[in-house]
């Protein structure tokens, strides 16, 4: 059967279960946009900048647990997506980005709005394609979705020449995708599982260190059951927050550069470190030769290239996190002559040691009566939402305060640009999240610098009635850079002062949204309550302590035990 390329494109989206596309039109994709007018079952969300389209697709994918889709035109439309694609690549988020391209006869001729987006994005995509002829269109789209969502998820880009989508192409019904050179390993090797479980039996001071792979593989329940069954404390990366309940007694919160004192001390003194779906990022490990120096290290990951990449691993387990954790649970439950209570009891002195570290240096801050502390704002957001909101963040101090003080008990509740650290991520991601979960409260915790990176998406949120709430922690600084300048550059605040800034309340109103402001602690709760009760986009402008820092903090190049605590 043959149909117009644009119509085949739309049908392929239907075949993949796509109901929402974030995009911005242009000449190279005008045929697809024409076909979208007749596709009542696919919602198109018109963003105001292509970077916003990719971040929104990313946020949608994280909340839905499936592939997000962005559609843009050629040239600058395509290049504007690169930051969003790189962010999704760093965080292993499944998205497919479709870019328009000039007609195939013009490729390489410096045609108007031509750019080699395949070459540009090759280092930051899981895979990418240029569709060179009509016969390739349908199978390429199907492969793109398959690659994005399977194995270690990630972004895939498909470049669509205008003549291919405007011409006639063959369309065939979907069939299972089998790629000869791409076969991810989902089932862990039983022998490695047995080695891991026996290591747990020998350990007196084990730690579960979990990352975004636990959330990507929907393994939170199995992880939680494993930790509770064996009485093992859990620490999470930024991407892993919510993979284990943050309010559970076994939770040590986040580890690493801005992790808790007790999580970092536990990793430094443990005798068995079980990494599940994490990649030993430099912000987690600090000085490598001082990271978990006494521990036998286990690494469970679906991506074999991640294992022993940064830290040498003693027991590698290649496979899906959920399957591996299920295998661990099954091993312990069927093991003969094994007293689980004895295993649990052996870990009790270790838990008491961690509790002692926590009592000595709990996560906290110095409260003021006349100045708003940003941590207080985040705590109030947690309290007034019951800890059940979807939180997106920008990047910098706001991101770390959100990670430290909003206790995530469920997966897919924190959306943040972890690996790339993109200012401007949080707000468009919040729009994508709200589209994916229209009945959920969605809050973007932002800095006054970051929020201005994609502030134009206020128009998108208003047009599609996304009642996203934005909590601006406003200190008139590029706060995290200012903190580094304070600590390590003799307080030379080079180009981090943002005192020339918009009136965020007036800005919200200019877009038809609602603006609220709090200047003292007593106003924080009323502002949040009003925002939550408002069926509209709301900017909450919290005027916070200008020089408040994020602590604990591990200086660059130091061991994670060398924390600055105040």
**Catalytic center residues:** 50, 112-113, 162, 480
Question: What tokens appear for 123 in the block?
Answer: 């280092």
Radius of gyration of the chain (CA): 24
Q: Which of 305, 255, 331, 353 is nearest to 92 (CA)?
A: 305
- DSSP secondary structure string for all residues of 18-63: --EEEE---GGGHHHHHHHTT-TTSEEEE-SSHHHHHHHHHHHHHH
Q: Which residues pair with 224 in a beta bridge?
A: none
Can you tell me whether residue 447 is helix, strand or coil? strand
Question: What tokens appear for 237 in the block?
Answer: 């990366």
Neighbours of 268 (CB within 10 A): 19
Distances (CA, A) of 150 to 125, 210, 288, 302, 469: 14, 20, 31, 10, 33
Check residue 256 and give left, alpha or beta (phi > 0: left; psi -120 to 50: alpha): left
User: Alpha helices of 457-539 — where are they, by DSSP H?
Assistant: 458-463, 479-488, 504-510, 524-532
Question: What tokens appear for 519 in the block?
Answer: 């200047």
Check residue 276 and give left, alpha or beta (phi > 0: left; psi -120 to 50: alpha): beta
Q: Which residues pair with 43 in a beta bridge?
A: 20
Q: List strands edge to edge, sheet with 272-276.
A: 251-254, 234-236, 206-210, 272-276, 296-301, 315-318
d(CA 279, CA 277) in angstroms, rounded, equals 7
**534 and 510 Cβ atoms separated by less than 8 Å:** no
Q: Which of 440, 359, 427, 360 is nearest to 395 (CA)?
A: 427
d(CA 33, CA 41) in angstroms, rounded, equals 14
């Amino acid at each position: 059967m043959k149909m117009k390329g644009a119509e085949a494109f739309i049908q392929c989206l239907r075949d993949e279960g796509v109901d929402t596309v974030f995009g911005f039109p242009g000449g190279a994709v005008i045929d697809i946009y024409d076909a979208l007018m007749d596709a009542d079952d696919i919602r198109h969300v018109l963003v105001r900048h292509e970077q916003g389209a990719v971040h929104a697709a990313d946020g949608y994918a994280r909340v839905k647990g499936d592939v997000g889709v962005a559609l843009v035109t050629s040239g600058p439309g395509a290049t504007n997506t690169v930051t969003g694609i790189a962010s999704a690549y760093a965080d292993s988020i499944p998205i497919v980005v479709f870019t328009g391209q000039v007609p195939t006869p013009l490729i390489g001729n410096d045609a108007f709005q031509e750019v080699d987006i395949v070459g540009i994005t090759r280092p930051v995509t899981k895979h990418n394609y240029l569709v060179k002829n009509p016969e390739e269109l349908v199978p390429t789209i199907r492969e793109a979705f398959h690659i994005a969502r399977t194995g270690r998820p990630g972004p895939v880009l498909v470049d669509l020449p205008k003549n291919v989508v405007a011409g006639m192409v063959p369309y065939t019904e979907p069939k299972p995708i089998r790629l000869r050179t791409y076969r991810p390993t989902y089932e862990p090797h039983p022998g490695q599982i047995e080695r891991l479980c026996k290591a747990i039996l020998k350990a007196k001071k084990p730690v579960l260190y979990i990352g975004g792979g636990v959330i990507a593989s929907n393994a939170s329940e199995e992880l939680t059951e494993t930790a509770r069954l064996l009485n093992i404390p859990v620490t999470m990366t930024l991407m892993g927050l919510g993979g284990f309940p943050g309010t559970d007694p076994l939770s040590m919160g986040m580890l690493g550069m801005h992790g808790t004192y007790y999580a970092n001390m536990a990793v430094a003194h443990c005798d068995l470190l079980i990494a599940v779906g994490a990649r030993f990022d430099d912000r987690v490990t600090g000085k490598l030769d001082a990271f978990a120096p006494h521990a036998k290290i286990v690494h469970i990951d679906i991506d074999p290239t991640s294992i022993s990449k940064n830290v040498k691993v003693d027991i590698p387990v290649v496979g899906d996190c959920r399957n591996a954790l299920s295998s661990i649970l099954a091993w312990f439950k069927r093991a003969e002559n094994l007293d689980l209570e004895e295993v649990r009891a052996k870990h009790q002195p270790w838990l008491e040691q961690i509790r002692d570290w926590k009592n000595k240096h709990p996560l906290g801050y110095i409260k003021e009566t006349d100045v708003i502390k940003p941590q207080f704002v985040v705590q109030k957001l947690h309290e007034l939402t019951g800890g059940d909101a979807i939180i997106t963040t920008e990047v910098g101090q706001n991101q770390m305060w959100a990670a430290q003080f909003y206790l995530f008990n469920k997966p897919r509740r924190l959306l943040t640009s972890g690996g790339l650290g993109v200012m401007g991520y949080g707000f468009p991601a919040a729009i994508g999240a709200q589209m994916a979960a229209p009945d959920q409260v969605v809050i973007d915790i932002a800095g006054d610098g970051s929020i201005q990176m994609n502030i134009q998406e206020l128009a998108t949120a208003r047009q599609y009635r996304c009642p996203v709430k934005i909590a601006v922690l406003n200190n008139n600084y590029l706060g995290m850079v200012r903190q580094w300048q304070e600590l390590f550059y003799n307080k030379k605040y080079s180009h981090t002062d943002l005192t020339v800034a918009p009136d965020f309340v007036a800005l919200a109103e200019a877009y038809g949204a609602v603006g609220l402001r709090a200047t003292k602690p007593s106003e924080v709760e009323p502002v949040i309550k009003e925002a939550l009760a408002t069926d509209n986009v709301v900017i909450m402008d919290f005027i916070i302590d200008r020089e408040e820092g994020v602590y604990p903090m591990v200086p660059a190049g130091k061991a994670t035990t060398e924390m600055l605590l105040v």
